[in-house]
Chains A and B, each alone.
Chain A
Amino acid sequence: MAVTSIQPNYSGPFRDRVENFHGNQLVYVHWEGHLNFCSAIALALPPEMPFRTLAEEVIAGLYGSDPQWASVDLSRARWMLDGVDWNPVPERPIGEQQVGHKSLIRFWTDPVENTRG
């Protein structure tokens, strides 16, 4: 539907185009089953970043403060990218593995359903 406006072709600034992020793109990551982290976390990442860097540095840096993180084995995590199961290759850049601007990456690390809500 078009916006109800006084003139046709109403528009305003399209604020979050990828061009506005200085070579980065927005990516959201979410550790499923650990809602003490209230929501997915927003990141601005270069598409050239290898998945390994994302997982071992960025994600580990974000969640490392959690007492349970120490027992997490990310190599056994289940990943989902934009609603589809995802098997990222550690060495390849995320941009070459379907991670686009505003992609959502969800991952599960708990062997059984989480107990912590």
Chain B
Amino acid sequence: MSRDVSITLQNTQEGAAITEAILADNEGAVRRDFPAMIKIDRASRLVIKASSVSDRLGRQWDPQEVHLSLISLSGSIDEDDDSLTLFWR
């Protein structure tokens, strides 16, 4: 079984921007759509870059704002000033 990390986001303006940023920055990430939510999976590692989300939203986006859009995740978390990383060790 592949060791996928996974993130599920609300299907909102911000959730959509984060999704776009993830898909652009993480090659091979797979998106699945459900009512009101979006699930993104990728093998072993997935990064949300604050700059990519900020570009899409047209404003400064703080990685901690992910809490406003997050529904679920699978994997360990590393959070710093510029990004949020999901990974398996």
Query: So, do A and B actually touch in the complex, CB under 8 Å?
Result: no
Residues of A that sit less than 8 Å from B by CB: none
